[in-house]
Amino acid sequence: MRDPDGLLARAGVRGDPNADQHFLVDDRVLDRLPEYAIGIDADLAHVLEIGAGTGALTDRLCRVADRVTAIERDRDLISFLRREFATEIEDGRLTVIEGDALDVEIPDFTTCISNLPYGVSSRIAFRLFPRKRPLVLMFQREFAERMVADPDTPEYGRLSVSAQHYADCEIVETVPKEAFSPPPAVESAVVRARPRDPEYTVSDEAFFLRFVKALFTQRRKTLRNAIRNTGHISGLEDPDAVVEAADEGMMGRRAGTLAPSEFAALCEVALERGDPK
């Protein structure tokens, strides 16, 4: 097993907080990340890693997966990874892709296990969720807590509804700042997401996600007012018709009290009566 501090030394790099670069160096945490996927019998035929860094997690993934694809945007780190893991690359067990995970074409994969760059973790996560594959991802703790939050709690919001639309999400571990080099300003958490079909049906998923986003921009307003005030975000041409057609009791509630299934039901009313663009 490659030592994370040794990898940092051989790569000749130091993390840069200004560039959202914090290397996970705690052996115990690194060892557990693949185990969280193994614990739900995730398919490890082709594991995707985003933000490979110096390869501390890459090394562990190569030991349990049939094949690994690692995406990294830092050119110096790409060169190091290709030297350090030359044997794994030659054997076809590892592919290293240079590029930004927000822009590159993400290959087909069976499971993703990653310590994501925190500044873009939300955008990356929502590139991954629609693939409906098991995910084990490191986030800022506050972000992770919002992802798994229940309705009518302070943390519950658009992120909670959107993530739980795609998967059962759970925090499996909180990670202290000291596990990273350099330590970030906040604690981290590991989220395990098991894909599943939601218990409700939406006829237009893109509109559903946009509608949820719109209503949470006015989370302190009643839904009656939030729907009327956010037509420019949701794309509703006739929000008043939605309010009139929806359940009157629901219209007096706020977005943070609705379960995802209730958002879905309201979304269908909006699609039918609101004349969305």
Q: For residue 169, what are its two tokens?
A: 């999400």
- Assess whether 241 and 132 both reside in one domain: no
- Assess whether 220 and 252 both reside in one domain: yes
Which domain covers residue 245, as residue numbers?
205-273
- Assess whether 44 and 122 both reside in one domain: yes
Weakly modelled stretches of the chain, pLDDT under 50: none
Name 87's Cβ contacts closer than 8 Å, sequence gap at least 6: none
Q: What is the Cβ-side half-sphere exposure of residue 17, based on CA atoms within 13 angstroms?
A: 8
CA distance 138 to 192: 9
Nearest Cα neighbor of 264 from 197, 218, 191, 219 is 197
- Stated pTM of the model: 0.94
Please report whether residue 227 resides in a domain: yes
- pLDDT for the residue 119: 87
Please report whether residue 179 resides in a domain: yes
Q: How many domains does the chain have?
A: 2
- Assess whether 16 and 147 both reside in one domain: yes
- Assess whether 143 and 240 both reside in one domain: no
CA distance 193 to 170: 7
Q: Are the C-beta atoms of 244 and 250 separated by less than 8 Å?
A: no
Q: Are the C-beta atoms of 59 and 4 separated by less than 8 Å?
A: no
CA distance 169 to 182: 28
- Assess whether 170 and 108 both reside in one domain: yes
- pLDDT for the residue 117: 87
- pLDDT for the residue 14: 84
What pLDDT digit, counting tens, does each position of 189-219 carry? 999 999 999 999 999 999 999 999 999 999 9
Please report whether residue 232 resides in a domain: yes
- pLDDT for the residue 167: 97
CATH number for the domain including 124?
A: 3.40.50.150
CATH number for the domain including 221?
A: 1.10.8
DSSP assignment, residue 145? H
- pLDDT for the residue 277: 82
Please report whether residue 200 resides in a domain: no
Annotated binding-site ranges = 22, 24, 51, 72, 100, 115
Which residue, 148, 165, 195, sits at the end of a domain?
Answer: 195
CA diameter of the chain: 65
Q: Looking at this protein, which amino acid is placed at residue 196?
A: R
- pLDDT for the residue 99: 95
Which residue, 160, 195, 230, sits at the end of a domain?
Answer: 195
- Assess whether 190 and 212 both reside in one domain: no
CA distance 163 to 199: 14
Q: Are the C-beta atoms of 57 and 24 separated by less than 8 Å?
A: yes
What pLDDT digit, counting tens, does each position of 165-194 carry? 999 999 999 999 999 999 999 999 999 999
Annotated binding-site ranges for S-adenosyl-L-methionine = 22, 24, 51, 72, 100, 115
CA distance 153 to 145: 11
Please report whether residue 146 resides in a domain: yes
Which residue, 175, 195, 215, sits at the end of a domain?
Answer: 195
- pLDDT for the residue 21: 83
